[in-house]
Structure 1
């Protein structure tokens, strides 16, 4: 059984709070994103939305560093901790500004999590973290869970051309076939890159997940017929839903002729069990809990016997 804490609305702001074991209410760890297009609708009234960082959306010329610091400080004050999901494909200026904000605030309560997921896949990851934020996971475990959950998101696209695609290995033969009128390719970016030709008698199967998933798809300049008629049944998905195409998708996939898709675990109880099954450690540097081999907040590697004498900072110190 999932040990899920009770969530309820904040009467003044409409925010979701989490009832603690002592009868008080705490706000869940904030999940922040760098674009409003990375915010999928909440599946229920308990799941909080994501914070869209204006410091990443707006130009530094129109959104000053002072405003960016105020924005982040307000999130920390309200939520306690902030997990920022930043696509690896984001411009250097965005990443530099996020690091500058954390540096100036001198806070150990901001986790900057870079992800190689395609735009729709990253939206799904943000949604899963939002769902788990109202459970009894500590901020450190929740931030580290981003890497774990990424391995269970099958993110790809149906493309009309792979001639300029550089996110996934493409053979010279596939490049040549891209110039054939009507050619279509199914590409899987994560968890393992794969490319197959699905038009002209090509192999239409991508290796799918071996667990129950829900399929989200976003239509660009191609029809979703193959995704719904071939891919969804082959992957045995438990439902599908159409969502708006992220504006970054065409650049990420190097073509506007696409249908982006992502299959992932939709059930919060399964997500909870998945994260709970991983051994937890205390970070030897900042004191937060972590899963995996590295702390998502301070980036320190997992403690080893040689480092056991290093004293951790007080947990939650800023």
Structure 2
């Protein structure tokens, strides 16, 4: 069985792009499942799949994160990877789908876990917002805050990989002097989700400007309004859709062996035990301390 990919909410599981891509397990928060049930469910996943890679978004409540670490500690296993991901909700869901695609390939669990950090660099995540008054994830200037109170104001915001914010005119970015956020320079597929904002800007203007290969609409994740600071939004995320390209991207990185747990890794840190690839250098002894020694 392929390595299990897990999420903390069912709305982070996008439809599979093909019949070969498996789904994702949902690790329910404390309010929905008691500790005994969480232990039983996680044990069953490990029994069936061998290893578990869980995506842990940065916006999760503290109690949910503590539950994940408690389950791993009680089970006393090194076969659970808890991957901290700092992407908007729809971008996180897109990354999860890419990991699901790669889970059926011949990558070891350690390489698959480390691939999350690599793939996140190639995800473009943003939103069309009706207000940026409560947006704290992207730098917002005083003028943008003031313009948020204008009737019908709309803002094109890119949160990842580089922050970007522009106010759109009534005819979109081209009519209001705002600049479209710079898009990816590689082939992508665009996924978007509507909140309480009525606009076709993402599909009608952003998608053609970014020259995406395809566009798909999905329901808005429940945590998106909180992440963006407003329910008046259309969230979007663009990423590499082709499994062969994702495979080559990960396979091209040199593999190492974790000096702590022995699993394979790519990059500079193990996805399972979080140990760095190289041991930190010994701290230098202050000269004054060295002179005072006999």
Q: TM above 0.5, one fold?
A: yes
**Distance (Å, rounded) in 1 between the aligned partners of 2:179 and 2:197:** 16
* Number of the residue aligned with 2:65: 95
Residue 179, structure 1, aligned to residue 142, structure 2: no
Provide, for residues 258-314 of structure 1, a one-character-per-residue CA deviation record: whole Å limited to 9, x for no partner.
00000100000000001111111000000000111110100100035979xxxxxxx
Provide, for residues 136-186 of structure 1, a one-character-per-residue CA deviation record: whole Å limited to 9, x for no partner.
100000000001100100000000000000011111111111111111001
* Number of the residue aligned with 2:164: 194
How many pairs align? Answer: 277
Question: How far did residue 224 of structure 1 move?
Answer: 3.7
* Number of the residue aligned with 1:150: 120
76, 87, 91: which is aligned to 1:106? Answer: 76
CA contact (8 A) 1:182 1:199 kept: no
Question: How far did residue 77 of structure 1 move?
Answer: 0.6
Moved more, 248-257 or 200-209: 200-209
39, 52, 70: which is aligned to 2:13? Answer: 39
* Number of the residue aligned with 2:109: 139
**Distance (Å, rounded) in 2 between the aligned partners of 1:237 and 1:253:** 24
241, 264, 271: which is aligned to 1:266? Answer: 241
Q: Secondary structure at the match of 1:218?
A: strand
* Number of the residue aligned with 1:20: none
186, 201, 206: which is aligned to 1:211? Answer: 186
Deviation >3 Å, runs of 4+ = 304-307
Residue 53, structure 1, aligned to residue 23, structure 2: no
81, 85, 96: which is aligned to 1:126? Answer: 96
* Matches for 1:238-249 after TM superposition, within 5 Å: 238-249=213-224
TM-score, reference length from structure 2: 0.92
**Distance (Å, rounded) in 2 between the aligned partners of 1:87 and 1:241:** 23
Which runs of 5 or more structure 1 residues have no equivalent in the other structure? Answer: 1-26, 308-318
Q: Secondary structure at the match of 2:212?
A: coil
* Number of the residue aligned with 1:281: 256
**Distance (Å, rounded) in 1 between the aligned partners of 2:197 and 2:10:** 23
Which runs of 5 or more structure 2 residues have no equivalent in the other structure? Answer: 171-175, 283-294
Q: Which of structures 1 and 2 has the bigger CA Rg?
A: 2
* Number of the residue aligned with 1:290: 265
CA contact (8 A) 1:186 1:197 kept: yes
**Distance (Å, rounded) in 1 between the aligned partners of 2:281 and 2:105:** 34
**Distance (Å, rounded) in 2 between the aligned partners of 1:42 and 1:254:** 29
